[in-house]
Amino acid sequence: MNKPALADEEVSTSTSLPATAAPVSRVRYRVLAVAVCLAAVTYLDRVCISLTAPAMMRDLGLTPVQMSFVFSAFTLAYATFEIPTGWWGDRVGTRRVLTRIVIWWSCFTIATAAVFNYFSLLAVRFLFGAGEAGAWPNVAKTFSRWFPTTERGTAQGIFFMGAHLGGGLTPLLVTAMLTVMHWRAVFIIFGLVGLIWAWSWYRWFRDDPAQHRAVSPGEVELIQRGRGAKEVHHLDRAGWRRLLTNRSLLALCLMYFTQGYGFYFYITWLPTYLEKERGFTSFTLGALAGLPLLLSVLADLFGGLTTDRLTKRYGLRIGRCGVGGVALLLAGGLLIAGTAVANPLLAAVLIALASASSNFLLGASWGTCIDIAGSHAGVVSACMNTGGQIGGVLSPVVIAFVVARTGNWSAPLYLAGLLYLAGALCWWFIEPRRPILATPACQAE
């Protein structure tokens, strides 16, 4: 009979090896390093357009509302194709799927340089989003195969650290590049970086650690013993029904909707907010626009370490749900406070801290997906991330319309803060100790 998710004492000891075991390699950390590079490239391409937006709007004759639909076109496509691509990675492996994803999005990043009007830009950004969909669920799937339970939160935290470091440095990089080249050249250069990553990944990575020639038998044993519940490989109609109606997964999706809604403000309209509402310009604007993601680098790392440390000591419920709930409570309070204060610099710092706090939960949330998913980490994490992308679709458009009608930014930012607080409540309904597709008898505690 399949066992339930690891008991607390099992979680703390499942990755230990006997003293007589063969030397253990560390190839999984190299997999993590390559994944971190992928994370940085995804945000290089995503955040770039928020900095080039003023020049693009001027050259293409776009209104702010039209630009908001351009932002959301990417996210809509991303959300639409997220679950199918996550399922595809579960079926055929992440080596091939991630290679296809990165080649696709890199080509459409380059194609952004060729747009000539609103509709061509809308189409290219939609196709860009369709291509990038499933990237992070497939990384989660990779970690589910390459990392034991008690290292997954840390691995996810470090992965997001790479994403947010890339995103945090992108405003400064793009601001500097725009002083010496046209915005179209920026997209070409960034697209070529992705193509280099795709070639390297396909050449070196293997879906199964046991098939990688650099992985020692000791590391294979460590990973396999620490994977948790026995995997269920076939997702039939009944399995889909159980998955899509599972309380924990639905709560994860709602929680991540609130996180995604707030986060997409930071990577779309934050530079405009800081310039129009708070009066920042030039280098200061670029630095403060990148500050939320730079602070998130530390939040990602320590959030991942914290969730794994608490999981080892107190179990998955506290280690995952406690970290996630507290992070969103703090994020909501900080964002509301940052919106309310009059001092521009203090407001920018508080808003950046809110972003960091909302990202402190990433190791816990993506770790939870792997904990409850079994062999379907791609699909489960894609479901959660789709919730976040739906929030991302709505966020830029809602903010643009509210600002256009009211003339101020307070209302949409207060709404984002309240959504963070609602997301914190969702963690109460999440049970990371119960795999979704284990047999009912095995789900009992």
Domains of the chain: 25-209+217-224+239-433 (1.20.1250.20)
Which residues 6+ apart lie within 8 Å of 41 measured at CB? 102, 166, 190, 193, 194, 197
Look at residue 15 in the predicted model and tell me its pLDDT.
44
Residue 227 has pLDDT above 80, yes or no: no
Which residues 6+ apart lie within 8 Å of 445 measured at CB? 4, 433, 434
Residue 440 has pLDDT above 60, yes or no: no
For residue range 120-174, list pLDDT tens digits in order.
999 999 999 999 998 989 998 999 889 988 888 889 889 988 887 887 788 788 8
Is the CB of residue 26 less than 8 Å from the CB of residue 219? yes
Look at residue 329 in the predicted model and tell me its pLDDT.
97
User: If pLDDT is split at 50, 70 and 90, which confidence band does 5 have?
Assistant: very low
Choose the most confident range, by mean pLDDT, from 65-69, 204-208, 406-410: 204-208
% of the chain surpassing 70 pLDDT = 91
Look at residue 23 in the predicted model and tell me its pLDDT.
62
Look at residue 199 in the predicted model and tell me its pLDDT.
96
Q: What is the pTM of this model?
A: 0.75
For residue range 385-414, list pLDDT tens digits in order.
999 989 988 898 899 888 888 888 888 999
Look at residue 4 in the predicted model and tell me its pLDDT.
43
The mean pLDDT value for 162-190 works out to 87
Of residues 26, 138, 84, the one with CA closest to residue 370: 138
Please report, for residues 27, 63, 156, 427, the alpha-carbon distance to residue 39 in angstroms, rounded to integers and kept in the order given.
19, 31, 11, 26
Which residues 6+ apart lie within 8 Å of 26 measured at CB? 219
Per the listing, tokens 């890199």 go with 106
User: If pLDDT is split at 50, 70 and 90, which confidence band does 79 have?
Assistant: confident
The mean predicted confidence, pLDDT, of the chain is 86
Of residues 75, 271, 267, 98, the one with CA closest to residue 166: 267
User: DSSP characters for 332-370?
Assistant: HHHHHHHHH-S-HHHHHHHHHHHHHHHHTTHHHHHHHHH
